[in-house]
Amino acid sequence: MTIRPRQQAHRKGDAMTNLDVFAKILSEVTGRPETIFRQIICSTLKTNNKWLEPAEPGLYEALQAEKAGILNWLISGASEAHEMMKEQAR
């Protein structure tokens, strides 16, 4: 099964999937295009089809309220990955 990332931003009133919600939130938090996150998430669809299921009501709003925490989590993860790469290079 091949899923192509949406080329257009999510339109208000459309039912959002988990893919829509997480790609949109990650885009808002990082300032990077939503399509990048759609491509990354779509690469996992062979093992996890829950991305295509309708999102729970209120999930987007709940994640929006946690944007600062999500950004901190991304920064922390990037920092840890950088440290691991430095250790492996030794």
The total domain count for the chain is 1
What is the pLDDT at residue 82?
87
Inter-CA distances, 18 with 5, 15, 40, Å: 13, 10, 14
Q: Are 10 and 20 in contact (CB under 8 A)?
A: yes
Residue 10 within a domain? no
What is the pLDDT at residue 47?
74
Query: How many C-beta atoms surround the C-beta of residue 14 within 10 A?
Result: 8
The residue segments making up the domain with residue 74 are 18-89
Question: What are the pLDDT digits (tens) for 10-47?
Answer: 555 678 999 999 999 999 999 999 999 999 998 888 77
Residue 49 within a domain? yes
Residue 2 within a domain? no
Residue 74 within a domain? yes
Q: What proportion of the chain, given as a percentage, has pLDDT over 70? A: 86
Residue 54 within a domain? yes
